[in-house]
């Protein structure tokens, strides 16, 4: 078996604002496998500044995996426990290689019958006019669930914008989720959650920075607004520690990003623990290309979670890989009349 890694920079159509700054490009890595005339591909969705495995030796680990690919999937996953995005790429690549079609990793009605997955529309941070334009566009495109990034501009301005949305659309019309990306301090968080709760929001992701377990536990115990853990899950790889974290904090929801929590296997562990503790969950992509997004979507479709998922990021880039993935009327579809750009994929791995 031959293995090749290739770095690829995804370019945002519009610079995208988060509480960590402005994103203009997104680095990712493809793992390409060849064996007996067949090939498979997986995406290692490294997220600089957020991934647990954003370390100087990342490329060195990719090289090691390529040189040791014949150890097999199980051993490689064990050896990459501190590199969850590489684990995810390895999982995908081996599944892709084993499949009759390298892009069909899971059987579900998502692919076979083009059944859509309900998704939230993502609204990026910016000034009031820019955010309102995005919201109007999402509504025109049939989204009934919108996720807004907050925490990068003035809180009062964000509240005013959310109020203006609620004045026009009730919670029955639009489900609003907000993501603070850890922007609040523990001292101000409960006050801000109380203000936000008056706006009929569905939930807030990661109100304070991860790693403050006792503070997050206090917030989840007293919050007037459901809290979803996101970054809090990153870097927790031992299943016993996963269970301890959720049992201690007792959040209302957790959010699974396979690139950041060890692929399908790591995400499945979190889901199992969450369900045993009556904690809700949904799946979100982490700005992968369509290769990784396709894998996440196909896996998510097998889980039968009826909540809107966070899988609408494929159209953010100017140089994404053309694929059958298509967003329409608030859902992600696998449009079988559209083809993958296999020429680009093969050129990446030369």
SS3 sequence of the chain: CEEEEEEEEEEEEEEEEECCEEEEEEEEEEEEEEECCEEEEEEECCCCCCCCCCCCCHHHHHHHHHHCHHHCHHHHHHHCCCCHHHHHHHHHHHHHHHCCCCCCCCCCHHHHCCCCEEECEEECECCHHHHHHHHHHHHHCCCCEEEEECCCCCHHHHHHHHHHHHHHCCCCCCEEEEECCCEECHHHHHHHHHHHHCCCCCEEECCECCCCHHHHHHHHHHCCCCEEECHHHCCCCCHHHHHHHHHHHCCCEEEECHHHHCHHHHHHHHHHHHHHCCCEEEEECCCCCHHHHHHHHHHHHCCCCCCCEECCCHHHECCCCCCCEEEECCEEEECCCCCCCHHHHHHHCC
Given 26, 61, 209, 257, the catalytic residue: 257
Residue 159 phi/psi, 5-degree rounding, is -65, -40
For residues 175 and 160, give the distance between their C-alpha atoms in angstroms, rounded to a whole number: 17
The two three-digit tokens of residue 243, written as one number: 């269970």
DSSP bridge pairs for 6: 30
Query: Do the beta carbons of residue 240 and residue 248 sit within 8 Å?
Result: no
| Catalytic residue list contains 149 | yes
Given 149, 192, 209, 242, the catalytic residue: 149
For residues 60 and 350, give the distance between their C-alpha atoms in angstroms, rounded to a whole number: 19
Q: Which residues are identified as catalytic? A: 149, 257
């Amino acid at each position: 078996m031959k293995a090749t890694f290739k770095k690829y920079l995804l370019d945002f159509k519009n610079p995208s604002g988060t509480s960590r700054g402005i994103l203009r490009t997104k680095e990712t890595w493809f793992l390409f496998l060849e064996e007996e005339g067949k090939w498979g591909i997986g995406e290692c969705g490294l997220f600089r500044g957020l991934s647990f495995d954003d370390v100087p030796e990342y490329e060195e680990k990719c090289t090691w995996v390529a040189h040791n690919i014949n150890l097999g999937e199980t051993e490689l996953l064990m050896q990459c426990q501190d590199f969850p995005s590489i684990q995810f790429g390895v999982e995908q690549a081996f599944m892709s290689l084993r499949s009759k079609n390298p892009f069909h990793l899971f059987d579900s009605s998502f692919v076979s019958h083009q059944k859509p997955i309900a998704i939230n529309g993502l609204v990026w941070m910016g000034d009031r006019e820019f955010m309102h334009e995005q919201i109007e566009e999402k509504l025109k495109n049939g989204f009934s669930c919108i996720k807004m990034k907050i925490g990068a501009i003035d809180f009062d301005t964000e509240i005013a914008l959310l109020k203006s949305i609620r004045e026009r659309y009730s919670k029955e019309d639009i489900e609003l989720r907000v993501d603070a990306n850890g922007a609040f301090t523990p001292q101000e968080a409960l006050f801000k959650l109380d203000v936000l709760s008056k706006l009929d929001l569905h939930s807030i992701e990661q109100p304070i920075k991860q790693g403050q377990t006792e503070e997050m536990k206090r917030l989840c115990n007293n919050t007037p607004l459901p809290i979803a853990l996101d970054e809090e899950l990153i870097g927790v790889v031992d299943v016993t520690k996963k269970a301890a974290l959720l049992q201690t904090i007792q959040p209302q929801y957790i959010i699974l990003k396979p690139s950041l929590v060890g692929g399908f296997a790591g995400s499945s562990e979190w889901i199992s623990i969450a369900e045993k503790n009556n904690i809700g969950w949904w799946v979100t992509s982490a700005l992968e290309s369509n290769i990784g997004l396709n894998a996440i979507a196909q896996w998510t479709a097998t889980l039968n979670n009826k909540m809107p998922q966070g899988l609408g990021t494929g159209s953010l880039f100017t140089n994404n890989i053309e694929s059958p993935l298509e967003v329409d009327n608030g859902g992600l579809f696998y449009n079988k009349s559209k083809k993958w750009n296999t020429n680009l994929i093969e050129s990446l791995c030369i």
